Structure 1
């Protein structure tokens, strides 16, 4: 079994090519411990490589997948995460130029269409339906640089402190983790995005093939229990902010309760 892993702390925190205690790491280690008959290997890959492999039907499964309608056309998904919505991460020097509404939320349309502000995002990475739709609009393209990065964007924060970008979009807990390892990143600020307040569903993705269906059913069988659901919840709760945990507590409890029941997967 080949596990495609994200090098994206604190979701994936590889050490010498092995999973440690990130969200996806804890998840895959739980599965591997209960699947001894398979031989397991871990391949840390960037978004371009991951989704190209799955779209071509390669026999591998990705542990840090955000679920989108486009991806569901060529991949099976087993839900494992319910994440708070990503936020706008900015350099403090541009705060006065950020278009805010009455709730102090950044208005993403005017923001992305402003040629005086330069954004940086990762190519092939999903940011949630509302943000992805805006990024797909031609008007935003001249003002946003898309990086085909070797990781999921963990170098973007450093780029911003060097004035090589005014803003990016990411999770507040990802920024908090990065700032805990590099004090200069604590200068960056997170602002909620208007219209992008939906929780993000993520999980494991396998190719939409006969092999992928068999693999995702096995994974689902190993996770579909009260113990499995509890492991998923704790893997996530360890890293998200206390504010997010309190704000979305009921939704998250219901989400993980539903994961105790096996899911159904249609034929490819």
Structure 2
């Protein structure tokens, strides 16, 4: 737990869950992820609040927002269920593209199943093991399939899942390419994984947002955050934040949809 930045009566607790390269909670890149940089930008501008950061498991983030605690989280995906207890800012970054991530040595095995489909993997090929982060929202089509055909296991942090994939305890993950690439490097195996397109992948980016408690306090904080974002998101510096950690091969795709990002609310 760190803080405060300033202490003038009002306080925001920024909950942080390790999801590199968006939030990086350990190692040499600690606190230098995409969401970390956005959080620092917001705390530097919301100077009439004191700011604390608290590293917690993601289910605790959601539970605290549901109970109305004065918490915010950078990187939440807006869903109808979450809108019942949280207030959401305009988008702060983008998750894109989504892939079926497998060990490089298994690429031909999965391509032989093509055209690759998550539904087919979850129904016709259930012997192929996967896992999902508890309470996560990835993208609408994938989320719906995981609800309908839940995997046999869940995980609580990203590093755990990628270690299991590397060690052969999982056969594939559904993940965004930047997250997969970061964890491959962190495991000392930068070429260990490949990301394969699949039928239900998101054709457009998924936009993470700041989510705060859905209370009058939370809605006031989100309004303040939106005012900062309105000033900052078109700047070269903010573009640099959004592009941070993106694989070179994915940069043209990120840049091609940036105007859609700016126009989204």
Shorter-chain TM band: 0.7 to 0.9
> After the TM superposition, which of the residue ranges 61-70 and 176-185 deviates more from structure 2?
176-185
Give how far 1:209 is off. 1.1
Counterpart-to-counterpart distance in 2, 1:229 and 1:248: 14
TM normalised by structure 1 equals 0.84
Corresponding residue for 2:154? 146
Pairs aligned (count): 247
Alignment of 1:96-245 (within 5 A): 96-98=108-110, 99-101=113-115, 106-113=116-123, 114-137=125-148, 140-141=149-150, 143-147=151-155, 149=156, 151=157, 153-184=158-189, 186-198=191-203, 199-225=205-231, 227-230=232-235, 231-245=237-251
Structure 1 residues not aligned, in runs of 5+: 264-268
Counterpart-to-counterpart distance in 2, 1:58 and 1:30: 22
Counterpart-to-counterpart distance in 1, 2:82 and 2:251: 28
Corresponding residue for 1:83? 95
Counterpart-to-counterpart distance in 1, 2:135 and 2:228: 29
Corresponding residue for 2:35? 24
Residues 57 and 187 (structure 1), Cα distance of their counterparts in 2 relative to 1, 3 Å cut:
same
Q: Equivalent of 1:45, from 41, 56, 70?
A: 56
> After the TM superposition, which of the residue ranges 69-78 and 91-100 deviates more from structure 2?
91-100
Structure 1 runs (4+) deviating above 6 angstroms are none
Corresponding residue for 1:266? none
Structure 2 residues not aligned, in runs of 5+: 1-11
RMSD: 2.2
